[in-house]
Structure 1
Amino acid sequence: MSAEGPLARPHLAHRPAAGSPTLLLLHGAGCGGWVWDFLSDAFQQAGYPVEVLDFTRQAQGREAGLGDYVAQARAALAATGGPVVAVGHSLGALVAQRLLLEPRLVAAALLCPVPPEGLWFSAARLAFADPILFSEAARMDAPPGSAPAELADSLFGPGMPEAEARACLARMGGESRLALWEAQAPQPVPHGWLHRRPVLVLGAGGDRLIPADAVGRCALWHGAAAPGFLPDLGHLMMREPGWPAIAERVLAWLKRLQ
């Protein structure tokens, strides 16, 4: 796609100071590190070191659980040479929240986050409001490429090109059933008064999986400012043509931290 196309990089004039934190990018369920391609490039263009973690969905010959994902992220933290800001999406944002007492983690940006209460309330509401979407979302453990084309309307906003949506769907799947099941329950996420880390919370106006009230409760739990919402984006917001708006918001927030 040309540099002038809908997924073109924005011009990012901000350059961080020396000693800026490493950004640890944590993907959501059924995805992989590939979902961060656009944002990773933008963050590095702005001068931030970036580490992209691909969660390993098998642990010691069994399906990995959320605790295994947290351990993998904690190991990635330990491997960095300085302060880290976690940038997590959906299930990856839940993992980021469980790390907020780690000394090396200085802040977290949460995109369409699974809230500390878990998914049980949002999932129950989705089951009544849209049982077909609920059924498909629950099948993120299916092999990659098995997601029906109709799921694109639920994952992406109206501006997502059809070809790009199909390409993403073909790569999605293979999630640990154990991790998906555990994510339904309330999580051991430290409250904001305890961890006292800056937290940025961003939601998508067209997100049908993590509703606005759940995003709001997540921000409230962490004592963060009211969440920002990108009105024309869906759940997989970082893959849509509007992704530069995410980069700009995260980078502006990082600048204020310095």
Structure 2
Amino acid sequence: MSDLPLDEAIDGEPLRLNGEEMLAWKPAASRAQSRPPVLLLHGAACGGWIWQYGFGAALARAGYPTYAVTFRRDDNAGLADFTEQARAALLALGEPAIVLGHSLGGLIAQRLLSEARLKAAGLLAPVSPEGLWWSAARLAVAEPGLWQAVSHMTDPPGKAGASIGDALFGPDMDRDALPGILARLGGESSRALMEAQSPQAVSPAWMMGKPMLIMGATADRLIPADSIARCGAWHGVTPMLLPGCGHLLMLDQGWEKVAQRVIGWMDRLG
């Protein structure tokens, strides 16, 4: 897989499936046999478009029918609304699926663990069941400027400013490649973010009998390694940390390695 400039998105195919709007990446028919579908859940201030820069296409090339939702957001939308939309999308796929969630979408994936249609869950830089309160408080004290930049995630898309890039990407990322992404970030529900600060009633994956992958990033300044470790301990999973990547590890320098590790894990599920 080659590097892709971040101002050139690879569009997934818009699709309405049983009333649910999604983006879809379809594998070649010869690769799709016996592969379960994958449902992608984006994080805060993003949308289904976040997977259009190569990641969704990489999963499809590996033979996995891949779908991404965009959460319907306004200031009244909460985590329960996002969870219900994700559940409806999962059911619309019509067969057991792997759910792959990033950040806030990772928290929604954890809230779906009791669903019979959820075959396995992959979490990328996820919000832990402990909530965001500790990570947010630490960021506010240690890096108040960065915390202030992150607080603009509820602003309309494109209003957060260039400084938010420091919170989302690792040090090796070419900052000149980011304007197209930063212009689309924003518009998050303030209610959903507020609810995500608190500890969450999430059942452990081991108790639900669901395979789980947890991946964090060493340069993630929003969801640090110790939060990833506690998430892993809760679910009975040993997480892996990607060196040099920031929070948006599906877009950061070396995102291909992230995709390859996810694909390897899915292949081993059988």
Q: Same fold (TM over 0.5)?
A: yes
Aligned to 1:12: none
Deviation at 1:139, TM superposition (A): 1.9
SS for the counterpart of 2:153 is coil
Deviation at 1:17, TM superposition (A): 7.0
Following the alignment from structure 2 to structure 1, what is the Cα–Cα distance between the partners of residues 112 and 3?
37
Letter in 2 for 1:76: A
Aligned to 2:123: 110
Letter in 1 for 2:182: L
Give yes or no for contact 1:6–1:241 (8 Å, CA) kept in 2.
Answer: no
Are residues 1:253 and 2:265 paired? Answer: yes
Give yes or no for contact 1:7–1:240 (8 Å, CA) kept in 2.
Answer: no
Letter in 2 for 1:229: L
Aligned to 2:154: 141
Unpaired runs of at least 5, structure 2: 11-29
Seen in structure 2, the aligned counterparts of structure 1 residues 19 and 165 have a Cα distance that, compared at 3 Å, is same
Q: Which of 22, 30, 48 is the aligned partner of 1:33?
A: 48
Following the alignment from structure 2 to structure 1, what is the Cα–Cα distance between the partners of residues 169 and 89?
29
**What's the TM-score, normalizing by structure 1?**
0.91
Following the alignment from structure 1 to structure 2, what is the Cα–Cα distance between the partners of residues 154 and 74?
30
Letter in 2 for 1:134: W
Moved over 4 A (4+): 3-9
Give yes or no for contact 2:139–2:146 (8 Å, CA) kept in 1.
Answer: yes
Following the alignment from structure 1 to structure 2, what is the Cα–Cα distance between the partners of residues 16 and 184?
41
Seen in structure 2, the aligned counterparts of structure 1 residues 5 and 96 have a Cα distance that, compared at 3 Å, is closer
Following the alignment from structure 1 to structure 2, what is the Cα–Cα distance between the partners of residues 17 and 50?
10
Following the alignment from structure 2 to structure 1, what is the Cα–Cα distance between the partners of residues 2 and 106?
31
Following the alignment from structure 1 to structure 2, what is the Cα–Cα distance between the partners of residues 192 and 165?
35
Q: Which of 98, 107, 112 is the aligned partner of 1:94?
A: 107
**What's the TM-score, normalizing by structure 2?**
0.87
Aligned to 2:69: 53
Percent identical across equivalent pairs?
A: 51
Aligned to 2:199: 186
Letter in 1 for 2:73: R
SS for the counterpart of 1:55 is coil
Letter in 2 for 1:247: A
Deviation at 1:158, TM superposition (A): 2.1
Are residues 1:163 and 2:163 paired? Answer: no
Q: Deviations over 1:191-234 (max 9, x none)?
A: 2342120110000110000010000111111111x211111110
Unpaired runs of at least 5, structure 1: 10-14
Seen in structure 2, the aligned counterparts of structure 1 residues 93 and 4 have a Cα distance that, compared at 3 Å, is closer
Q: Deviations over 1:142-171 (max 9, x none)?
A: 011111212212211122222322221111
- Total equivalences in the alignment: 247
SS for the counterpart of 1:175 is coil
Aligned to 1:241: 253
Tell me the C-alpha RMSD between the 2 structures.
1.8
Letter in 2 for 1:233: C
Give yes or no for contact 1:7–1:241 (8 Å, CA) kept in 2.
Answer: no
